[in-house]
Amino acid sequence: MLTSARNEQPSGTSARPNGTGTPINHRNTQWRFRRLCQEAGLPRIRVYDLRHTATSLMIDAGADIKAASEALGHSDPSITMKVYRHVQSGQRVQALNLLSNMITQPKEEPQPD
């Protein structure tokens, strides 16, 4: 159903309508998201980065690949596997631990001599 809706919509639009019932242009979404990040003092990230991070975490937590693939709108679970199996669990844990340490441990200020 979603695939057929995608095939019928103009390029660069979403199947989800905006408030007027017309498809949402993805550039408007990106612009609004970029503005929100800027106002919140966050680094520049893309909406796609959120999708990628959420999916990576979902798969790492043990979600069924077929269910994840369907949620993403991929036509085949092998696509999901190719895109999201690049980071091994141990590497992700190590990276998250490093990030956690950077956030929770105050940076030591140099002491005057």
Cβ neighbours for 90, distance < 8 A, ≥ 6 positions apart: none
Whether 91 maps to a domain, the answer reads: yes
* Domain tally, the chain: 1
Could you tell me the residue range of the domain that residue 79 belongs to?
47-103
Specify the higher pLDDT residue, 63 or 76: 76
Residue 32 has pLDDT above 80, yes or no: yes
Specify the higher pLDDT residue, 57 or 89: 57
Residue 35 has pLDDT above 90, yes or no: yes
Specify the higher pLDDT residue, 26 or 80: 80
User: Which pTM does this prediction carry?
Assistant: 0.51
Backbone φ and ψ for 25, nearest 5 degrees, come out as -80, 125
CA distances from 59 to 17, 18, 25, 87, 105 (A): 29, 30, 29, 11, 29
Distance CA 110, CA 81 (A): 46
